[in-house]
Structure 1
């Protein structure tokens, strides 16, 4: 097992539920105290004494909950882990939940990266999606956060109902003016069961056409490059040195623990997720059981497939020598089939990565990798 790991901690509370959200979250504040009490108990159930490399507080909206809960959580982490000095601690936020008191406390606790869920600067789209802020609040609280944070990410979604090229261009102009250190720009995915999907199915809302998505994402790529951001993952750009170190743990298929409702983890060849059900979460912890929903001991083939799925999201791809040493004959068998069956992959020097076409059609590339896997199912090398 890697002696350096990441921690993901899920904080499932929000002021309101966004139309497009499929993450486990609640607006029921009455259970905040209980949830954090059980979250700290859950952390106690896992015996790990190594070095914590990164921490990511996700949600939900971690900056919505009372500061006392975040403070208790960090006291627990400091007491539990003898080497608790992560190089990166991220907290996710919605702009309207930020204020001077909270930002000062986060800074005092050692949180050194703030991820702001912007989604868009267009007030009409924000209102339609049930976001509780406008572009004036975004800008005001961004500058407030800059007093405490030298590493700030903006999260955007391309292709929400009402999105168009004029709005996208305005988003990019504001990125250029405000200068966050990191930008995530995701294409909206309507595969999940959300209130927005139901409205789309009833014809009450409409998504932009595919041509806008394609041209719009090309514009994002070109403009962020012009501004000095390096694209290092399919949907992520960073100024030099500001790549998200926690997410790189995921994409490099390294070790991390997940705590809280729905949190996932990967330790050695174990892959798990926690339950999405509050009642089950509380009941299992009451019985001193880790609240797993899914727990799997990966085969070598599972691990190789996951490593490809995650690593090929990175623009620089995966080191081939590392794969060969790790997986031996299984690697050779897999890659013999891979380049025959999957277009959009290229090998450059000692790395395998996606071509531009592959990045544009990454969903199809990943589907094809699963087909390769099925062709050699059961082969362990």
Structure 2
């Protein structure tokens, strides 16, 4: 019996490259037609016999590409019964024609990359819109979409408490169904990281990040949003069904450049290199960069990594059923290390302190994994 799966499709085209972006994307539109031609060929190489539960078009900026490509893509995949189909967007790329086409194709969730409502920060990060464009195109999108997410980043250069408070006021005004508010991570090799290292830009003090994130939690709660994952809030019933597949360590396929997938105990990612992507498909090969059959402890570790991001964590009964004695062995060690950061009753989840120090919890999970491997 076929199980339902999620489907992620990577569309790596942007009008401009943002300073903080480390996703594989390009501003070279000359290869757009070729990429979609090969993406359709890749679909032929992959077994998509499972019923598709959710679809997520990510990027890049999927709403930047020609509508004809999105239409051909939807003719190829059988996603008529998907409960949630999301398309990522930057505000300046939206038009009435595109929104109408997406709606007609059955796309029912729009994720808008806002990052901040501050025009100065937007300009400095190479974003091609301002508050006026955001508001105008948000209300345009409202004619077609009753499920909209707004994405934000806390802690970009120039961010401060006044800007954050203004962001929260505008979230309250626009009243989207879903809000993602991520803390900026400077670990990745990006143009922004290089500017920071050269001292040409500076990040806000960490004290602001701590106080700011506490303010986000408090204010979004007052607005009626429920925090269901470390960085995600939703009105009741509007949690992102596709991302929940990731966090529950369930099955999904990834199509396109750099896309990742997880089917049963197979974990894979596709190549990040355009030439390699095209060459492998020319040879009728699925363009894998990484492909691994996970051991039980690999699967268990990944399940903890993903599931502990959820505020409600993971059901203990589920872990015991899937992993048996490995569960007991693993948690005996982990609980000694982070007893004040995790809560175990009928579920395992992070405490408030654990959510604040989630990076430490994940590091300890890796330590336990290595101890068990060595043992």
Same fold per superposition (TM over 0.5): yes
Structure 1 residue runs without a partner (length 5+): none
Question: 8 Å contact 1:55–1:90 — kept in the other structure?
Answer: yes
CA distance in 1, matches of 2:23, 2:289: 15
Residue 175 of structure 1 corresponds to which residue in structure 2?
A: 171
Residue 185 of structure 1 corresponds to which residue in structure 2?
A: 181
Residue 325 of structure 1 corresponds to which residue in structure 2?
A: 321
Using structure 1 for the length normalisation, give the TM-score. 0.97
Residue 63 of structure 2 corresponds to which residue in structure 1?
A: 63
Question: 8 Å contact 1:9–1:258 — kept in the other structure?
Answer: yes
CA distance in 2, matches of 1:309, 1:365: 9
Residue 298 of structure 1 corresponds to which residue in structure 2?
A: 294
CA distance in 2, matches of 1:194, 1:50: 37
Cα deviations by residue, 1:101-141 (Å, 9 ceiling, x for unpaired): 00000000000000000000000000000000000000000
Give, in angstroms, the shift of residue 345 of structure 1.
Answer: 3.6
Question: 8 Å contact 1:113–1:152 — kept in the other structure?
Answer: yes
Structure 2 residue runs without a partner (length 5+): none
Give, in angstroms, the shift of residue 343 of structure 1.
Answer: 3.8
Question: 8 Å contact 2:114–2:151 — kept in the other structure?
Answer: yes
1:210 maps to 2:206 = yes
Please list, as runs of the form range in 1=range in 2, the aligned pairs for 1:278-289 lying within 5 A after superposition: 278-289=274-285
Give, in angstroms, the shift of residue 349 of structure 1.
Answer: 3.5
Counterpart of 1:314 in 2: which secondary structure?
Answer: coil
- 2:160 aligns with one of 159, 164, 178: 164
Residue 258 of structure 1 corresponds to which residue in structure 2?
A: 254
Residue 46 of structure 1 corresponds to which residue in structure 2?
A: 46
Give, in angstroms, the shift of residue 218 of structure 1.
Answer: 0.3
CA distance in 2, matches of 1:329, 1:358: 25
Cα deviations by residue, 1:247-275 (Å, 9 ceiling, x for unpaired): 00000000000000000000000000000
Count how many residue pairs are aligned between Structure 1 and Structure 2. 375
Residue 132 of structure 1 corresponds to which residue in structure 2?
A: 128
1:358 maps to 2:354 = yes
Runs of 4+ in 1 over 4 A off after TM superposition: none
CA distance in 1, matches of 2:340, 2:215: 21
Residue 138 of structure 2 corresponds to which residue in structure 1?
A: 142
- 1:220 aligns with one of 212, 216, 223: 216
Give, in angstroms, the shift of residue 335 of structure 1.
Answer: 1.1
Question: 8 Å contact 1:344–1:356 — kept in the other structure?
Answer: no
CA distance in 1, matches of 2:32, 2:159: 35
Residue 77 of structure 1 corresponds to which residue in structure 2?
A: 77
Question: 8 Å contact 2:20–2:193 — kept in the other structure?
Answer: yes
Residue 30 of structure 2 corresponds to which residue in structure 1?
A: 30
Give, in angstroms, the shift of residue 344 of structure 1.
Answer: 4.1
Residue 106 of structure 2 corresponds to which residue in structure 1?
A: 110
CA distance in 1, matches of 2:374, 2:302: 16
1:7 maps to 2:3 = no
Using structure 2 for the length normalisation, give the TM-score. 0.98
